[in-house]
Chain A
């Protein structure tokens, strides 16, 4: 039966060269690392920690809409020709709802960061290779500090949220119910305290950009202050004064991209204009400068800045500066320009506050802190390419936090040197009063000016329970001034002190309950 054997062997032979090879059906992408081949060395874990920093940017890119533009510090240039920015405007006007894109982006970014930390911590617990203790501590310290930072961001903006502490590997465990704000705060405190124990103060200046003990002590102090536990904030902030930080003499050099991670810096979100389209660049300046079809005179490159005119300094903050304050000109600038035939604003020059425009010249306000022209453009011509870092915490902030905490714990006199250090640089007179209430208002005002447009104003208003009164008053003025504001705008109630849980989350997770009023 030779023939039959031939058939069988032909049949089987073909099989051997193709489908019966065991790995024929085991394919992994060559263009991406797959999870089976990762988390196998210290370097892998260090790269994973690097990845956990990235969501800081996703928050920083849009946080000003929720933290600054919602406050009395900033508003927006009303863009008649493009109403696509309505969602941003509604954040400023207190008309935002659960479908607001910014709210969803921030929520997602925070949880992205949390998830990346959870992956690191879970997988670190089961490694089968030896890791040097110092490396391990550094990884755990940075990871936990990041997780605490992200949860603090969530609880401050959304209230109670789901508490994810482990890696999600399938749909099981992807949908958790909300955990009370108190338990979120407990987790934030626990993680920060763990990080504080293992991390070291900055080894050198300029710093690397990694989280340090100084970062953790400062932010942990802010958490305690938010919980009104000022006594716990004081020693932490005092320790920060011993870590080598100092105020820079020139206020604007703090934000200079040539002077990143300087002695005054405690924690910055890192960016870089690499020119390679690898998404390391920031873009705040494009949001903060006016909408124009040609940015040439303003940014030094030809660009159609359709999505600008946000976070525009308000009349209110302009009036809040003391007359001799050197920070005004370094914080706020004017853009003088004209309309073209199509009523598009075309910038011509940058001027200081107080500039009197000649007839026919149109003036737009913008934030100068983050403005360092000229800029460049990336190959795909829609992308911006700006180098500025976003500062989350700096030494002046820590000093003012310390002054506030001391005042709140009845140590007004000891608070004054910290407050006056900040004022001195601004060219202002020392404060001498030790009256707790007076000093409380003075410190709050000083924070507003010193940290203007640094995403502290709205959280400070909420934290100090001033938001409702301040914003309703401000809203009256705004509605008077701008005819486009609806009567329902600036109706600031207790419900508006946190944002809505994003609509998408509500739809996808049956266990969630929406914040009241949304």
Chain B
């Protein structure tokens, strides 16, 4: 077949191109005889001293270079070619070569980001052409923020991206939400894509120093090409690539000191106060309960508490476990680029000690990104990145309910962590207290290591068959292995079980292989004012993991920490896998650079769903219009850009775990004839009708550039309805099962996002500000049988999700005071264990008695709005920046109060517990119940006393840098030193340590809980960036 058509009319040609493009049959083009020529010159950039790195491309070809440190370039091209000079932050210029051999040019700053190239799903786009809600962040801007995880750097930067540091555990701190929680239990973390590779599992091993840019994809149109996993948004990470034409060696390093601020530490009784409380406790026991000391048979206060005045401050156990800990990072990056090869390699060592004793994390990372261009039509890429991470006790039982930190808080302040002779007391309990080990000894005893190795790699080939027609095939692999070893020596005790204990050990490990093959055909062409960009592809992904665990006990002594030394052992192994197959296509159409239309579709098949429900379709469409380019629009400097855009589309979610579509049998062995008899029963109820959770999202956005580009502004409204939410719902035990994975209901989220960037001063002092704020809300529209989720158990069940309400609202009793007098007691509704002086919860349902049916909604764990402000100042060689992030409107339930306010005389408590009711004459503060036996439990159940506002404003980072002029030094091109404070100030009314806390992390149905989390430190650091 011949497809030669140079003389057709414009319209016919356009149609034909489209037709051919769609069919991927391509076309042939006339070629001209052209003369080879070398063009060189200098690119000057007003207002910046950094001259290198401006891209110089031959228009329409893949040939390109970039400027060196003096702004010089040299490029081979043809006499008829056009050179395109582009650089982020500057207007792109095109200059026809027309036989010139020297072209010098000065680029004009744009003052906005509209011309920057943004990495989007399966490709790149100029910011002004984008029709979806996408935001780019350059890692360069974030370099002064010390971080084990890249999420720490993104806090406060993007409207609608909520990044929370939920814990201070090194390397495990961050959680993400794009546009609030999109799902119930099927995961709320956005899909993280590194250089085109969707990351499965842990994202915290990605080295922040390797990252060049982030793209945050928020709406359905932007994310739709990641269809099945895009419901929570997508974060695309691009790692450092070499620029053609220069060799660079960069060393970045920093060193910092982390410590826990005083604000937010628990306000516990000191030794004298505790002894005083306990003295009164026993006095009341003698008075009201006929108590006698079982050891002596006498009705008298135990010796420990007889004379509280003998004690001083005593031990502050919280303080005892903390330290000032170093954090350090060294990163060396070497890049080189020629016409044929570009290569970027980096080596990073990161070491963060924990602010809790004997904890820390180290990471060695290497990344090498290489592209080979044997000729102008072919690109071959080879990237790989091994990471090795050592977690030293940071995966141990440090925080959470009655683990080391909380255990220490409730330990007796009467006992010293170390005896006078240097030995450890084995217990931290005074008379009558629960058996608590010495947690100082325990944390020093911890011996829990995890070594994690991960290799991300990909190879690709990109072939340009015809002008604009590319075929790219990529194979990505993600290989990982982890080895967890814990040894608990005989000196190791736990809550309720102080040492000595029988030594034991636990080992677990996994290794997984994940691969992804993508094959993409793209065709971009332009006919007159019509630019069309087509993409079609398919991919297949597989994930396969093997897991093992071994336990050992009855070690003869503490000399051998490996299970080989154990007298008794047990272990098991298992495997899990999932596969995903997908087809996708996209059309980008642009008319005159003013009108933009994008259509996407993705079809995903997942092994996680039943045979008839495996496939889901995720289409989307979006359009944009740059009104300011219209002739009718007044051309003023006041408004240089006015763009509106809108999108609608579907995205999916399949995070419900593997194999839930089918019922599984578990071993239910029994004993017959005195020996083991194999039994099998259905222990997990499958759901063959299980299918995709689908989010339908509408987004409307406006982008403005004002006042000669000094102000840029964007606004987005979105509304998302998620249908067939995936959740493992509880079902009545009478069914024989406890839960089933189910498409349980529908809910809606909506919100407004504003982002403003201003250049306040542009002369000698440069001052830029960016501010963003996002308002989000949600509502549950439907649930299976309208049965609420959560809030059914007496303990450890603090949230409820119900129709007509928000997801995961806090749930419990409403504290209503104390029955102060017998008269009051007689008149008021009571619980079965109520007495005068005990807790009175509110009779919410008004049935005259208090029981579990009186629990109610106590607050929304989701913020009403989140915001961030960044200010950058430059003066001569100084730079200064300050980053602020905050949120307003959410509630936190401090469930650690079940321990810290336990008034059974078995734990130390918060100071306010001293003001308890003791008699009608001595009734306390009216908020603290008496200690009478069998009446105290109600005060320990989830109630409104534990609920606090989670509003906060945190100065996330303050950094001051100085760049040296070192033209005299031969081997150093540039150097900058800086000092910064991370987590500088936290302004909040939340009395706990960390207002960003969310101990259940990703589970939205149990959000907003603080269970005594690992403290978040403040970090002071100094650093240097040196270019060689």
Binding site for B on A (CB under 8 A): 1, 3-4, 7-8, 10-11, 14-15, 18-20, 24-36, 38, 44, 47-54, 78, 80-83, 86-87, 89-90, 93, 95, 97-99, 101, 104, 107-108, 111-112, 114-116, 118-119, 161-162, 164, 168-171, 173-176, 206, 208-210, 260-261, 270-272, 274-280, 293, 302, 304, 306, 339, 342-344, 362, 377-381, 483-488, 502-505, 507-510
Contacts and interface: CB of A to CB of B under 8 A. Distances in A.
Given A14-B517, A503-B792, A508 B731 contact: yes
Contacts of A377: 502, 553-554, 568
B69 interface: no
B471 A18 contact: no
A279 B676 CA distance: 11
B421 to A, nearest CB: 17
Given A32-B664, A164-B736, 9 more contacts: A11-B519, A18-B581, A20-B581, A27-B577, A27-B659, A101-B794, A206-B674, A362-B294, A380-B551
Contacts of A97: 832, 851-852
B100 interface: no
Nearest to B25: A4
A35 B663 contact: yes
B501 A34 contact: no
27 contacts: A7-B471, A7-B521, A11-B471, A14-B538, A25-B579, A26-B607, A27-B658, A48-B679, A48-B680, A54-B669, A81-B906, A82-B496, A93-B934, A97-B851, A115-B735, A119-B681, A304-B501, A306-B497, A342-B429, A343-B294, A343-B431, A381-B501, A381-B502, A483-B291, A486-B935, A488-B833, A508-B787
Contacts, number: 340
B672 A208 contact: yes
A304 B435 contact: yes
B785 A339 contact: no
A99 B658 CA distance: 32
B735 A485 contact: no
A170 B581 contact: no
Contact of A486 (B435, B540, B791, B833): B833
A83 B659 contact: no
A89 B554 CA distance: 34
A505 B669 contact: no
B662 A51 contact: no
Contacts of B685: 168-170
Contacts of A50: 668-670, 672, 677-680
B670 A174 contact: no
Contacts of B676: 272, 274, 278, 280
A24 B614 CA distance: 11
Contacts of A261: 674
Nearest to A96: B832
B581 A19 contact: yes
A28 B605 contact: no
Interface residues of B, number: 118
B692 interface: no
Interface in B416-439: 427, 429, 431-435
Contacts of B372: none
B514 interface: no
Nearest to B933: A484
A505 to B, nearest CB: 5
The 3 closest A-B CB pairs, nearest first, are A115-B736, A50-B679, A19-B581
Contacts of B686: 34-35
B800 to A, nearest CB: 9
B823 interface: no
B465 interface: yes
B576 interface: yes
Given A377-B553, A484-B289, A210 B662 contact: no
Contact of B934 (A1, A19, A54, A484): A484
A130 B560 CA distance: 57
B665 A83 contact: no
Contact of A260 (B25, B26, B538, B674): B674
A508 B429 contact: no
A35 B575 contact: no
Nearest to B744: A171
Interface of B: 1, 24-26, 288-291, 294-295, 302, 427, 429, 431-435, 465, 471, 473, 496-498, 500-502, 504, 506, 517, 519, 521, 538-540, 551-554, 566, 568-570, 573-579, 581-582, 605-607, 611, 614, 658-659, 662-666, 668-682, 684-687, 689, 729-738, 740, 742, 784-788, 791-794, 832-833, 835, 851-852, 904-906, 933-937
B213 to A, nearest CB: 29
A308 B575 CA distance: 38
Secondary structure at the A interface, as helix, strand, loop or mixed, is: loop
A503 B941 CA distance: 15
Contact of A379 (B504, B678, B786): B504
A81 B435 contact: yes
A483 B288 contact: yes
A276 B570 contact: yes
A111 B681 CA distance: 13
A50 B670 CA distance: 6
B735 A19 contact: no
Nearest to A117: B736
A15 B538 contact: yes
Contact of A86 (B574, B669, B732, B934): B934
A276 B473 CA distance: 51
B76 to A, nearest CB: 27
A505 B732 contact: yes
A448 to B, nearest CB: 28
A24 B605 CA distance: 10
Nearest to A8: B24
Given A26-B611, A27-B579, A111-B735, A504 B551 contact: no
A33 B570 contact: no
B551 A108 contact: no
A20 B551 CA distance: 42
Contacts of A206: 674
Contacts of B833: 95, 486, 488
A53 B670 CA distance: 7
B435 A280 contact: no
B581 to A, nearest CB: 3
B378 to A, nearest CB: 14
Given A111-B736, A272-B671, A379-B569, A488 B794 contact: no
B484 to A, nearest CB: 15
B855 to A, nearest CB: 10
Contacts of B574: 30-31
A277 B669 CA distance: 12
Contacts of B936: 83
A483 B787 contact: no
Contacts of A3: 26, 465
Contacts of B25: 1, 4
A93 B794 CA distance: 19
Contact of B579 (A24, A86, A210, A339): A24
Contacts of B794: 87, 99, 101, 503
Contact of A485 (B500, B519, B684, B934): B934
A162 B676 CA distance: 33
Contacts of A47: 678-680
A274 B833 CA distance: 42
Contacts of B568: 275, 377-379
Contacts of B787: 507-510
A369 to B, nearest CB: 20
Residue among A32, A97, A306 with the highest chain B CB neighbour number at 10 A = A32
A101 B794 CA distance: 9
B432 A81 contact: yes
B521 A508 contact: no
A78 B294 CA distance: 12
Q: Which of A169, A174, A485 neighbours the largest number of chain B CB atoms within 10 Å of its CB?
A: A174
A354 to B, nearest CB: 21
Contacts of B540: 18-19, 24
Contacts of A51: 668, 670, 679-681
Nearest to A161: B734
